[in-house]
Structure 1
């Protein structure tokens, strides 16, 4: 008989693969039902019918949709996304560079946001109902409520224009040193930190507060342990499972929802690459970016499920 943990993890992985397959179908169908003709948009209104027919045959647009889907999916599985219609460049090569830039920005934001959110959440629990709790909750709620583009332009105005802390255009390139890259992404990383840490902080606070009335917490209080020590040593470890879930969801957002921030700061990542080629109606690029974003989001959510199963005995033994 299979180990219950192995069985649950295998189920989550299988579900993740099925979700990714369903997402690939939606991405392909969504790009195919867009109004207009791809060949016409590439060649222009003055193109002859023969030229349009030749280009459609070259792009495989004369084949049935299901054949095109399986051809595209088979290539994607092997890492071949085809070539961009606008410039003829290999999409996989361009995506590799852009994805590494996006992951760098997301990693910088995550390294700051996750510990900051957890520490603020624990401080809010320690001073529940008092001014530190109210101040932390008010600031994080305000940062979450502001749209990313507005927050980005406010930060550009003050930190780039007024005080020259960092450049307003976050340009990075191959061969650039680590510290130079870090300086270039200060402002977009700050925007992402302000956007995602609020939800993580509030979940940390809620999860720990939910345990503060437990019998073992009361026992620790009766022993005379300091309040913050009780929170960190006894309450927080038992609140890891819901906190991990919300952290993983926000990490997925950092990679997938980074599009607006990259556009505001003209950052050469996946989001900027996607927006540029949506405007040019470059369908293969849009499909590749959509599939990669879906894979990252589903993968991180699947990882959150697996970590929750491993850290929560109630999930390992649901009966």
Structure 2
């Protein structure tokens, strides 16, 4: 138990160091952008006096390292400053948008994860058959297609031609769960098509790799049915790589939804990030990037911990 806690603590420490490095890159990448932020906010008609006053208001007259540590201290407490466009607190502007993104990611994950694992087991069971070849072609096509392309294809057929689902996933107050699931089905389906293919192929590969093991061969010689060999013998030992790929795809569902939210005009944090970049609202850009990085690192940490818990060789390294 002590070894396990040490491994988890080590992974957590590495995650915090990675997040610190990412925060430095995010802050100073904005600092290195061409042009003066105060002039960008005020416009070309600003005078030298107003620019100087705006630089003082934004704290740009102080050294960048000092401003970085002040920004990092505020970010740790959830205070990312104020929006340059609306004057609203960044945390207030992001909170509802991030909740919407988490809802969309959870919606897609609830469909994609069990579907991918079940399909992976079936394809492994029927490997080298016509079903396996067709599944491989379809999954490769899905993985190779950009998210926005899949989104537009779904809009063309399910919204424009057949008019089954709305092409615009905008939300409004007072919507019940059924309306919410209905209006967000197309963006969720787009994410499902992308991540299911990857998870299914990794599940298939992990199980087929284990089917060549001696204990699986012994079960086959004893007359154990193929489905039982996979479900009861191969699948439990394949959980470590499956958990890894599932966690990484869950991270993608949260951090990679920018294009999908833009295509379907979904009010999530990805759409907010695009709008903030267009308006040069850098406090929101920095906050969104840091939240994306923290989410990705956290889910990678969850993948590492899941692998450790499901693999005795990682829990008891020699």
TM-score by length of 1: 0.98
Say if 1:191 and 1:261, in contact at 8 Å, map to a contact too.
yes
The equivalent residue for 1:279 is 278
| SS in structure 1 of the partner of residue 88 of structure 2 | coil
Instruction: Please give the alpha-carbon distance, in whole angstroms, between the structure 1 residues aligned to 2:211 and 2:142.
Output: 27
The equivalent residue for 1:248 is 247
Gaps of 5+ in 1: none
Answering whether residue 24 of structure 2 is matched by residue 25 of structure 1, we say: yes
- How far has the Cα of 1:175 moved from its partner? 3.0
Instruction: Please give the alpha-carbon distance, in whole angstroms, between the structure 1 residues aligned to 2:53 and 2:172.
Output: 38
Instruction: Please give the alpha-carbon distance, in whole angstroms, between the structure 2 residues aligned to 1:212 and 1:159.
Output: 40
Say if 1:123 and 1:132, in contact at 8 Å, map to a contact too.
no
1:6-17 map, 5 Å: 6-17=5-16
Instruction: Please give the alpha-carbon distance, in whole angstroms, between the structure 1 residues aligned to 2:210 and 2:61.
Output: 61
The equivalent residue for 1:289 is 288
Gaps of 5+ in 2: none
Answering whether residue 182 of structure 2 is matched by residue 187 of structure 1, we say: no
TM-score by length of 2: 0.98
Instruction: Please give the alpha-carbon distance, in whole angstroms, between the structure 2 residues aligned to 1:281 and 1:275.
Output: 10
Answering whether residue 108 of structure 2 is matched by residue 109 of structure 1, we say: yes
Say if 1:217 and 1:230, in contact at 8 Å, map to a contact too.
yes
Instruction: Please give the alpha-carbon distance, in whole angstroms, between the structure 1 residues aligned to 2:179 and 2:70.
Output: 42
Deviations 1:235-271 (A, max 9, x none): 0110000110011001000100110000000000000
The equivalent residue for 2:84 is 85
The equivalent residue for 2:167 is 168
Instruction: Please give the alpha-carbon distance, in whole angstroms, between the structure 1 residues aligned to 2:310 and 2:217.
Output: 23
Instruction: Please give the alpha-carbon distance, in whole angstroms, between the structure 2 residues aligned to 1:165 and 1:222.
Output: 51
Instruction: Please give the alpha-carbon distance, in whole angstroms, between the structure 2 residues aligned to 1:107 and 1:116.
Output: 14
The equivalent residue for 2:53 is 54
Instruction: Please give the alpha-carbon distance, in whole angstroms, between the structure 1 residues aligned to 2:257 and 2:236.
Output: 30
The equivalent residue for 1:268 is 267
| SS in structure 2 of the partner of residue 210 of structure 1 | helix
Deviations 1:97-139 (A, max 9, x none): 0000000000011111111111111111111100111111111
1:89-168 map, 5 Å: 89-168=88-167
| RMSD between aligned residues | 0.9
Answering whether residue 198 of structure 2 is matched by residue 207 of structure 1, we say: no
1:61-72 map, 5 Å: 61-72=60-71
- How far has the Cα of 1:315 moved from its partner? 0.7
Say if 1:252 and 1:300, in contact at 8 Å, map to a contact too.
yes
Instruction: Please give the alpha-carbon distance, in whole angstroms, between the structure 2 residues aligned to 1:243 and 1:170.
Output: 31
Instruction: Please give the alpha-carbon distance, in whole angstroms, between the structure 1 residues aligned to 2:38 and 2:59.
Output: 11
- How far has the Cα of 1:173 moved from its partner? 3.0
The equivalent residue for 1:76 is 75
What is the aligned residue count?
Answer: 318
| SS in structure 1 of the partner of residue 283 of structure 2 | helix
- How far has the Cα of 1:233 moved from its partner? 1.1
Say if 1:160 and 1:167, in contact at 8 Å, map to a contact too.
yes
Instruction: Please give the alpha-carbon distance, in whole angstroms, between the structure 2 residues aligned to 1:273 and 1:293.
Output: 13
- How far has the Cα of 1:43 moved from its partner? 0.9
- How far has the Cα of 1:176 moved from its partner? 1.8
